[in-house]
Amino acid sequence: MTLFRLALRFQRTGIIAMSLVGAIGVIANALGFAQIVGDSLADRAAFAAQMELLGKQLSYLLPVPSHLDTLAGYLRWRWFGSVGLLFSFWALVSASAAGRGDEERGFVETWLASGVGRLRYLAARIVGFGLAAAVALAALAIATWIGAQLAKEPIAFGPLVLESVSLLGLALASYGIALLLAQLVTTRRGALGLAGVVLLALYFVNAAARVSDPSLLTRLSPFWYQEQNRPLLGEGLDPVATLALFAFALIFIVGSAVAFTGRDLGSSLLRGRSSPAHRVTQPSGNPLWRLPILSPIWQQRVWIAGWAAGLAVAAYFIVSLTKTIVDSMASGPPVMRLYLERAGLSGYSAFVGVIWFSILILLLSLYTVAQVAGWSADDAEGRLATILSAPVSRARVVLERLAALLLACAVVVAVTSVAAYLAASGQAIDLDVARFALASALILTVVFALGAAGHLLAAWRPRVAVIAISAVAVWSYFLQQLAPLFGWPDAIKNASLYALYGTPMSDVSWSGIAILVGIGVVGTVSSVRAMRTRDVGA
């Protein structure tokens, strides 16, 4: 039982984070639906028609909408359509920790030395994640029921339970896939990267099937099977699809167990033939390895290039839909037009400035959270101690990390901004080049504030840094989205880092930008102090 309790303890942060994110998201969407759907049947029908037209344009991101005149149908499209990806991401992180992270920290070797078998160890980690996911999904179901009560459109608890079962199957299937892929690499970062690429590919394979007939490749995506279940729409669970989800999980988990028991600790399952290596006695001639700031950029060049390419594609697609989305929302119910006015979406260029830049800020926040996770891992796994022994001062570590973060994000922003501008030009949307460039550059102030706050947490309490900075990002995103909808005062709205950024395409809030820079400076100075006063690894 000690091993099992430890496995549950490892999931504690994930349970809290997913429960809070799920609850906040579903309650916010339920209340938002009550605000914008209208009161009469005619208003509901008009709202559903307009939103279904919009939903079809966004089918590459969300499921095809249905029954949007009801709260259950709206929540299935607007929230449950994306929450499955969140649980898959959690499964990916947890599986990479179980498959590789525990080995890097020496936990697996310690337990095996104490007489615990490999299968027992792996089973404890798998069951621990399964129970943690079930708890988080139960919290989501309860929050959905509460949100429906607050919106005065109750949803029966039975369909919520069935929806949770479907999402649990998806989470376990994603966990099994990521756990098996972790056996093919030697580090946790490698496991995260490989499993992330595979799961995103499977997600987009399913997205392609929403606008075309399912192919054989589609049948290999657990996301496709999960979408066949529509309990919130009164259709219950699809028996074949549900069994396929849990069969996916079982097959990949068994494969992971076989691979784990058949390989050496610290090695990959795929061990090629060793070839004689050339003896190297001189350091690399690449000058980038010896230059401050550029050294970590060069080390992460593939990672940065992948982010830039992926976000550039997203920018082009989203901006290319601007006219369709704005025209659809503007011709909808009066409450939708009111929301457009409150959000500052009065035209095509304003839509690009508000919607695309808010999405870009959110995605860059995810990049920043990933960097904070890396900084915390460097502290826990001994890499920071190695860097400091070079010798390198602790202040230099802080400044170099934040400078590298800003430079990497500047590259990503530049590439995605070019893609967004080309898409707008292709749609005959006249963007002010100077303001568009300024809005793109000012995004870095948000990255600076969030990155400095994240580094302060990583230097002060590295074990809670990721969850804490993720909470800041989620809070900022939801507050920015909900404030215009409910007409909240600026005092509440400006508690969001994203709201402080404002809408530079129409009006630059220099006071908000100054606050963001101030947060970044204070966070940087405090990080240096925290690094100097705390022992590495403590």
Q: Is 145 found in the same domain as 195? A: yes
pLDDT at site 318: 75
**Could you tell me the pLDDT band of residue 409, with boundaries at 50, 70 and 90?**
very high
Q: Is 302 found in the same domain as 252? A: no
In a domain, 218, yes or no: yes
Residue with tokens 């759907």: 37
In a domain, 284, yes or no: no
Q: Is 256 found in the same domain as 358? A: no
- Tell if the pTM clears 0.85, that is, is over it: no
Q: Is 464 found in the same domain as 429? A: yes
Q: What does the block give as tokens for 437?
A: 């460039």
**Could you tell me the pLDDT band of residue 337, with boundaries at 50, 70 and 90?**
low
Strand partners, 507: 503
Calpha distance 152→71 (Å, rounded)? 10
The yes-or-no verdict on residue 327 having pLDDT over 70 is no
Q: What does the block give as tokens for 369?
A: 């959270």
In a domain, 280, yes or no: no
Q: Is 81 found in the same domain as 208? A: yes
Q: Is 507 found in the same domain as 372? A: yes
Domain hosting residue 456, numbered range: 290-538
In a domain, 273, yes or no: no
Q: Is 261 found in the same domain as 294? A: no
Give tens-digit pLDDT for 96-115: 888 888 887 778 888 888 88
Domains identified in the chain, total number = 2
In a domain, 174, yes or no: yes
Q: Is 303 found in the same domain as 177? A: no
Share above pLDDT 90 across residues of the chain, in percent, rounded to a whole number: 26
Q: Of residues 292 and 537, which shows the higher confidence score?
A: 292
Q: Is 323 found in the same domain as 238? A: no
Quick one: DSSP state of residue 106?
A: T
Calpha distance 263→398 (Å, rounded)? 38
Q: Is 483 found in the same domain as 375? A: yes
Give tens-digit pLDDT for 27-59: 888 888 887 777 778 878 877 777 776 666 566
Q: Is 229 found in the same domain as 194? A: yes
In a domain, 103, yes or no: yes
In a domain, 272, yes or no: no
In a domain, 137, yes or no: yes
Q: Phi then psi for 37, rounded to 5 degrees? A: -75, -25
The answer to whether 470 touches 369, Cβ cutoff 8 Å, is yes
pLDDT at site 135: 95
Q: Is the dihedral of CA 84, 90, 94, 100 positive or negative?
A: positive
Averaged confidence pLDDT in the chain: 82
Q: Is 237 found in the same domain as 316? A: no
